[in-house]
Amino acid sequence: MSKILVFGHQNPDTDAVGSAYGFAYLAKEAFGYDTKAVALGEPNEETAFALDYFGVKPLEVVHSAKEAGSTQVMLTDHNEFQQSISDIRDVEVVYVVDHHRVANFETANPLFMRLEPVGSASTITYRMFKENNIAVPKDIAGMLLSGLISDTLLLKSPTTHQIDHGVAKELAEIAEVNLEEYGLQMLKAGTNLASKTADELIDIDAKTFELNGNKVRVAQVNTVEIADVLERQEEIETAIKEAIATNGYSDFVLMITDIINSNSEILSLGNNRDKIEAAFNFKLVDNHAFLEGAVSRKKQVVPQLTESFNR
């Protein structure tokens, strides 16, 4: 019988990889599933840092479950089908572990779903380890911790739940790292954007959302200096326009997030400039505007866009 593939979303970030890696092990040890953790894309520099630090081999990249020989899958860190594997509608979803909104999700059969409004899917996965009395190996603890740190910006994002603080402390102990020191090292590893082409930069961490019939692409890059990214605005805009034309996006919103000062610059192109401006109560000047205190796509960008597009 074929293995059940466990994976996070397309353009996987550290939480997508860490939660898939951890949940595949948990599902096997606690529930007896024959699982295999895979990824839907190559790891970004932040994730690569975490994988290397904890001695974890990068997950095999797959694009089709059936081509990989599987008819059953488990999803972590996402549930929206447009963010998932290419043939998601042709396979059976057995389990979902996620901390995002539920949208565009429908299955033919009943399934297990674990949804919590916490800071990361890795947080939920660790809680399930504890609930099922399964010991967490050091490398898995390290990857789950990395996913938590990534999605909460070291517990500073507004998406951080009070539960995340205790989980981070426990995982750091198991992984044998200093939470603050390791967290800063990992986050800074992901801000090296100079070597990225504009096409790569806008696709590092990007998700597509269906907003009232509009296909909106929302991407995010982390940096320690927003101005350095804006110096490349012309080439970034060219890449965005090509992405819009190729993929049929109505709008493309890029968050350029300063992880030190916890602010973002929003760079946006597309057909619904008025809705983008109304969502954040600002005016785009030269296609971008400052958004004070914004670091979370999930909590500070997507809900506001959803509301604006639905008006």
pLDDT of residue 1: 59
pLDDT of residue 260: 86
> pLDDT per residue over 93-147, tens digit each?
999 999 999 998 999 999 999 999 999 999 999 999 999 999 999 999 999 999 9
pLDDT of residue 80: 95
Query: Over pLDDT 90: what percentage of the chain?
Result: 92
pLDDT of residue 127: 98
Q: Point out the annotated binding site.
A: 9, 13, 15, 77, 99, 151
pLDDT of residue 195: 85
Hey, what are 120's tokens? 């990361």
pLDDT of residue 190: 87
Rounded to whole angstroms, the Cα distance separating 183 from 63 reads 30
User: Is 236 in contact with 254 (CB distance < 8 Å)?
Assistant: yes
Residues 6+ apart with CB under 8 A from 303: none
> pLDDT per residue over 224-266, tens digit each?
899 999 999 999 999 999 999 999 999 999 999 998 889 999 9
> pLDDT per residue over 265-287, tens digit each?
999 999 999 999 999 999 999 99
Q: Point out the annotated binding site for Mn(2+).
A: 9, 13, 15, 77, 99, 151
Angle at 85 between CA 81 and CA 88, to 5 degrees: 60
Rounded to whole angstroms, the Cα distance separating 15 from 190 reads 13
Rounded to whole angstroms, the Cα distance separating 300 from 294 reads 6
User: Is 121 in contact with 98 (CB distance < 8 Å)?
Assistant: yes
Q: How many CA atoms lie within 13 A of 285 on its CB side?
A: 4
Q: What is the mean pLDDT of the chain?
A: 96
